[in-house]
RNA sequence: GGGCAGAUACCCAAGUGGCCAAAGGGGGCUGACUGUAAAUCAGCUGGCUGACGCCUUCGGAGGUUCGAAUCCUUCUCUGCCCA
């Protein structure tokens, strides 16, 4: 029977680990944790690897702890950051912690008897520990020399802006978290992204010094696409797990558009597909890349996991309508449905009567272009479509006759940017 | 506290009296080709206008000048050096 470490390794999830970890994971059931930053009210695609990591640990019989950084979030982790972070208010952090909790439940089983997942907030201990105690119990065990040697600190020291004492302390707080979880729950493994290596080993070190016990660390690789961009960061912004921030349709499209070079890797990272299935898809990518079977499967699996079966079905149907055929033949109800995900705006029907409403005004109001000048240029370049028909004349007005079912207008710029205009009586 | 250098559009960066809405690069957008890809090629990339043209913009404020991103004064900020 394969153990979770081998599974991680096979999926390319192991970047580095502390000595002895493979043996421990092979021979015993452990409690492990990963920290999540509450800097926003939603997790994002960048957190997915961590979520799946915990979920896999749980499936292999280990006990996962999701630690939400309600305390450390007040400080800000310098790892992977080149600039000092903005501090966020305590109220905001607390609200974010609650929102993130809700998202975690989609991935982890909190009910199972044998090894239920736990959700813990480090504000529980970080906001109450007296400074003197912290300095004596934690600070004493670290030399500044040790802390300065860490990568995350080094990169900041090399820069002009430097690093504040506050962020410099972050490592100790995270080490203290690990110690707390070790004491309270017998947690002996911390996982995280490769940028967390310094913080994680600091925790391992602290436990060894004050408890004389062995703890372990495991970091997964930083996921960047073939284009070198951090996964989940697109030109249009971050891809969130919250459907209110990133619609399931956009979410689905995000995965569908992954590069051939990345998709197989991602199937291993983000889905529960077996190695055999992944191998088959790999072959499919090689032999008939234009079919994009692997991307389709990836999009399906991840969208279902994050948003559920119904949202997946909607996203697929919308994708098919938008990229498959024309809008012709779609009923008003279907249009309403397909574009439920697309940005939309409302315009009084009156505006379209008589001479009609200038197209350029519509484009600007819909936010598809920033100015009429930009709209005019876009039309000249052939990048504007009304009801999926390319616009030739920028100065035209849209009249009631062009409204689909007398109610809708579908604006599009480029290949993918849709916007639905609803008319109001 | 003293000295020096600098602040230009989304980013980097040229421009040091009119030819500057401001070179070049990156990024972005659109098109062609494609697989809703990559690569490549082409166009666009301050606002208003059908167009001539007009308006706003080169850290802030004021000034010199027929005319200022460019010169002067002052303020703010950033970096470097000295104390």
Q: State pLDDT tens for residues A32-56.
A: 999 998 878 889 888 999 999 999 9
Phi/psi of residue A319, nearest 5 degrees? -60, -40
pLDDT tens figures, A220-256: 988 877 666 677 777 666 788 998 888 888 899 899 9
Q: Global pTM?
A: 0.84
C-beta neighbour count of A323 within 10 angstroms: 11
* Residue A231 burial (C-beta neighbours within 10 Å; 0-12, 13-18, 19+): buried
Residue A320: per-residue pLDDT:
83
Query: Virtual CA dihedral for A176, A178, A183, A185, nearest 10 degrees?
Result: 140
What positions of strand B are covered by protein, i.e. any atom < 7 Å from a CB? Answer: 27-32, 34-39, 43-51, 78-80
CA–C1' A316–B5 (A) = 58
Fold of A4-220: Rossmann fold (3.40.50)
For residues A56 and A77, what is the distance between their CA atoms, to the nearest angstrom? 26
Q: Which CATH code fits A233-321?
A: 1.10.240.10
Distance CA A206, CA A24 (A): 19
Q: Is the distance between the Cβ of A406 and the closest atom of strand B smaller than 7 Å?
A: no
Which pLDDT tens digit goes with each residue over A111-142? 999 999 999 999 889 989 999 999 999 999 99
Query: In angstroms, rounded to a whole number, what is the distance separating the alpha carbons of residues A238 and A199?
Result: 25
A159 touches strand B (CB under 7 A): no
Distance, Å, A374 CA → B54 C1': 18
A91 touches strand B (CB under 7 A): no
Q: A234 CA to B57 C1', in Å?
A: 29
CA of A161 to C1' of B59 (A): 20
Tokens of A327: 């809008």
Q: How far is the CA of A292 from the C1' of B34 (A)?
A: 13
Q: Kindly report, residue by residue over A257-275, the tens digit of the pLDDT.
A: 888 888 999 999 999 999 9
Asked whether the beta carbons of A152 and A80 are under 8 A apart, the reply is yes
**Distance from CA(A157) to C1'(B2), angstroms, rounded:** 27
Helix (H, G, I), strand (E, B) or coil at A412: strand
Is residue A160 predicted with pLDDT exceeding 60?
A: no
Q: Are A205 and A9 in contact (CB under 8 A)?
A: no
| CATH of the domain spanning A337-424, picked from 1.10.8.100, 3.40.50.2300, 3.10.290.10, 3.40.50.12280 | 3.10.290.10
The ipTM value here is 0.82
Listed by start position, the domains of chain A span 4-220, 233-321, 337-424
Residues 249-308 of A with CB under 7 A from strand B: 253, 256-257, 259-260, 289-290, 292, 295
Instruction: Find, among A250, A257, A261, the residue nearest to A298 by Cα.
Output: A257
């Amino acid at each position: 029977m394969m153990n979770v470490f081998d599974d991680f390794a096979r999926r390319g999830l192991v970047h580095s680990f502390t000595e002895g970890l493979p043996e421990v994971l092979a021979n015993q059931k452990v409690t492990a944790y990963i920290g999540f930053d509450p800097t926003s009210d939603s997790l994002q695609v960048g957190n997915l690897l961590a979520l799946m990591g915990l979920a896999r640990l749980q499936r292999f019989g280990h006990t996962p702890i999701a630690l939400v950084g309600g305390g450390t979030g007040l400080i800000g982790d310098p790892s992977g950051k080149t600039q000092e972070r903005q501090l966020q208010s305590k109220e905001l952090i607390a609200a974010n912690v609650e929102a993130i909790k809700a998202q975690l439940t989609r991935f982890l089983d909190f009910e199972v008897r044998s090894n239920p997942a736990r959700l813990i907030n480090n504000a529980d201990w970080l906001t109450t520990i007296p400074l003197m105690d912290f300095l004596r119990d934690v600070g004493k065990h670290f030399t500044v020399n040790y802390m300065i040697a860490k990568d995350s600190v080094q990169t900041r020291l090399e820069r002009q802006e430097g690093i504040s004492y506050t962020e410099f302390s972050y490592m100790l707080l995270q080490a203290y978290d690990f110690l707390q979880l070790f004491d309270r729950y017998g947690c002996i493994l911390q996982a995280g992204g490769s940028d967390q290596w310094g913080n994680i080993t600091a925790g391992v070190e602290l436990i060894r010094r004050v408890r004389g016990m062995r703890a372990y660390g495991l970091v997964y690789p930083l996921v960047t696409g073939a284009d070198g961009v951090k996964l989940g960061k697109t030109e249009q912004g971050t891809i969130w797990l919250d459907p209110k921030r990133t619609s399931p349709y956009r979410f689905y499209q995000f995965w569908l558009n992954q590069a051939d070079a990345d998709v197989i890797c991602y199937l291993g990272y983000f889905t529960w597909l077996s190695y055999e299935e992944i191998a088959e898809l790999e072959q499919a990518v090689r032999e008939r890349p234009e079919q994009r079977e692997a991307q389709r499967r990836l999009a399906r699996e991840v969208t279902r996991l994050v948003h559920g079966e119904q949202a997946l079905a909607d996203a697929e149907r919308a994708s098919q309508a938008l990229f498959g055929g024309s809008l012709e033949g779609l009923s008003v109800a279907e249009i309403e449905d397909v574009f439920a995900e697309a940005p939309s705006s409302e315009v009084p029907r009156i505006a379209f009567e008589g001479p009609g409403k200038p197209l350029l005004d519509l484009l600007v109001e819909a936010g598809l272009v920033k100015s009429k000048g930009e709209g005019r240029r876009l039309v000249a370049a052939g990048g504007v479509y009304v009801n999926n028909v390319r616009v030739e004349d920028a100065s035209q007005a849209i009249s009631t006759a062009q409204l689909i079912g007398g109610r809708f207008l579908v604006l599009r710029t480029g290949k993918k940017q849709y916007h639905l205009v609803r008319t109001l009586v």
